[in-house]
Structure 1
Amino acid sequence: IQEGAALEKKFTEKIDNIERLLASIEPFEKERVQKIRDRIIEQLKTLPVDYDRNRLEQELIYYIEKLDISEEKQRLTNHLKYFRETMKNGHGQGKKLGFIAQEMGREINTTGSKSNQAEMQNIVVQMKDELEQIKEQVLNVM
């Protein structure tokens, strides 16, 4: 029982760290979109051709939507919550915790591939590190 309590404490700590890291992405996420938009518009000013501003706006919206990570953040948050609930349900949950950890990894990876910014990618690497430690511990539960 003591080992189980220590493992639960370790899992909780790692899940808390991932949640904290996920929250720390937000300021970078907001400024990133504006930076990308500004950079594209600046580059366009250097071109010797006229362009359709409405079309540009449509293309920017499309491009920026491709970089949006709000769905990934929401799903990761749900997975973190589900991991906590499953952990509280006690014994025999190792396999399920492994599956949830796998899903968390998918969301973290997608966030990383969409981030396009060094600070966000550094945070994603830290999240992956925390998740790897969870996966290692899950193997002890199975």
Structure 2
Amino acid sequence: MTAFAHHRSEHSWGSATWELRSVNHRYLELAFKLPENWRQLEPELRDRLRKGLQRGKVECSLKIQLQSQDQSLQLNHALAQQLLETAHSLRADIAHAAPIDVLDVLRWPGVIISGDIDGDAITRDLLATFATTLTEHIANRQREGHALAELIEQRLQSIDDIVRDLRSRMPDIVSAQRDKLRARLAELKAELHDERLEQEMALIAQKADVDEELDRLDTHVVEVRRILKKGGAVGRRLDFLMQELNREANTLSSKAVASESTQAAVELKVLIEQMREQIQNIE
């Protein structure tokens, strides 16, 4: 579901800005943009997102601005030595390799550490701020979900109206088809036995009988409303119901014996497709 949340927090060590963006997706797909020194947070963030969200393509980003009180710096000797050894090893295998620049080594994330930084304290602050951001993000998704539910309800009501209208008109449609058959027979001056004529009439009535399809449409509409009212992660269930609604509309179209029923089937399919597109935004 499409949503956005942005939260900035100030601390003694500096500031942190979290952003959560999500767009429509059939499943939950997570992507992270974290500062190199804080990539160790990703497993915890991933776990929290999976517990709070079910669907959507979600992008999580963090920006940190550190401020050091004494500006003292510490060198991570072990990491620097490892980088130098790796660089020397590569130079032996690469012809005409450029000389190693010490400044490039110092720029490597984690080589230079501010002396007064308390990593554990910063981690606690970052996770607390992330929790606030995630709560806001979920609230935004819920608000959009309520708005989408209202749009879907409008289309469900339209489907109710079409089904009710078509059900009331079906006797007249079948009767008109019978009259049309009699008129054609009269024009052709065809002589059919009464029994044969009744068989033809029965075939017309059987083809035009859409009571079962209309009943199923009513049942599916009731189920969609029940699921929307229930709440929670309902997107996949609603996807399935849209397929079932579309199946009944297609059957209704194939059984159409008059322009009225054909038009009703077309309108139903348009409404169902509109709902299906909206449901892609629902978790």
TM-score (norm 1): 0.90
Distance 2:281 2:214 in 1: 28
Q: Judging by fraction of residues, say which structure has more strand.
A: 2
Secondary structure at the counterpart of residue 91 of structure 1: coil
Unaligned runs of 5+ in 2: 1-141
User: By how many angstroms is 1:92 displaced?
Assistant: 1.4
- 1:7 equivalent in structure 2: 148
Q: Judging by fraction of residues, say which structure has more helix.
A: 1
Distance 2:268 2:190 in 1: 44
Which sits farther off after the overlay, 61-70 or 96-105? Answer: 61-70
- 2:111 equivalent in structure 1: none
Distance 1:79 1:117 in 2: 25
User: By how many angstroms is 1:78 displaced?
Assistant: 0.3
User: By how many angstroms is 1:48 displaced?
Assistant: 4.5
Is the aligned partner of 1:29 residue 2:175?
Answer: no
- 1:110 equivalent in structure 2: 251
Q: Cα gap change, 1:49/1:7 in structure 2, threshold over 3 Å: closer, same or farther?
A: closer
Secondary structure at the counterpart of residue 108 of structure 1: helix
Secondary structure at the counterpart of residue 92 of structure 1: coil
User: By how many angstroms is 1:27 displaced?
Assistant: 4.3
Give runs of ≥4 in structure 1 deviating > 3 Å: 46-49
Unaligned runs of 5+ in 1: none
Q: Which structure is higher in RCO with an 8 Å CA cutoff and minimum separation 6?
A: 1
Distance 2:247 2:191 in 1: 42
Superimposed CA distance per residue, residues 37-73 of structure 1 (whole angstroms, 9 cap, x where no aligned partner): 1111122223445321112102311231122110000
Matched residues, percent identical?
Answer: 31
Q: In the alignment, is the contact (CA less than 8 A) between 1:28 and 1:120 conserved in 2? A: no
- 1:135 equivalent in structure 2: 276
TM-score (norm 2): 0.47
Which sits farther off after the overlay, 71-80 or 55-64? Answer: 55-64
From 216, 236, 253, the equivalent of 1:95 is 236
Distance 1:47 1:7 in 2: 56
Which one has the largest radius of gyration? 2
Counterpart residue identity of residue 135, structure 1: R
From 74, 85, 105, the equivalent of 2:215 is 74
Instruction: Give me the CA root mean square deviation.
Output: 1.6
Counterpart residue identity of residue 39, structure 1: K
